[in-house]
Amino acid sequence: MTTSAAVPTGSEGAITSDGTVTDRLVEANQQYATAFTDPGMDARPVLHVAVVACMDARLDLHAALGLELGDCHTIRNAGGVVTDDVIRSLTISQRALGTRSVVLIHHTGCGLESLTEDFRHELEMEVGQRPAWAVESFRDVDQDVRQSMQRVRTSPFLLHTDNVRGFVFDVHTGLLREIDPA
């Protein structure tokens, strides 16, 4: 597994320790670009699948699912929640770019398990404006996956809702556990 501590360094184009994190990322991109070759792909995923997952930095989806560049669309947010914006992305993925399957991946130890909707109230008190979005916190990860599956299956905008499967990724073992939608 590659971590930020394992970013390649060398005398030419070395990643410097000064500057901002963004500066470090831009420098890493410059190194990446020196060996980059256009893979000649279009935006249509080879496997016709869209994966919706949590943004948690511990989830290396491509490695965990054996995916290669170009295999899938990946949509990530806090909790892997199927929000209106996720439905928007899935709709474009299906209707314009040919995906047919949806895989939902939540995980153990999610930060949303420790938040409540009070988070929105606290933000309102701090900044003077209540967020328009819901926190979508939860206590039962399995039930949250079921809710996400139901949101995808009942969306009128999606063409393909018959192959929607949900999983919980265990951050300690790396294993997926499939959730029964019932």
| C-alpha to C-alpha distances, 167 to 56, 65, 85, 131, 138, nearest whole angstrom | 15, 12, 20, 29, 16
| C-alpha to C-alpha distances, 36 to 102, 143, 145, nearest whole angstrom | 30, 42, 37
Q: For residues 129-167, b (16+ Cβ closer than 10 Å) or e, as one string?
A: eeeeeebbbbeebeebbbbbbebbeebeebebeeebbbb
Rounded to whole angstroms, the Cα distance separating 6 from 56 reads 19
Rounded to whole angstroms, the Cα distance separating 113 from 141 reads 8
Does 107 count as an annotated binding residue? Answer: yes
Q: Which amino acid is at 164?
A: V
Which element (helix H / strand E) includes 90?
A: helix 84-97
Nearest-10 Cα torsion for 8, 11, 14, 16: 120
Does 54 count as an annotated binding residue? Answer: yes
Does 72 count as an annotated binding residue? Answer: no
Does 172 count as an annotated binding residue? Answer: no
Known binding site for Zn(2+): residues? 54, 56, 107, 110
Known binding site: residues? 54, 56, 107, 110
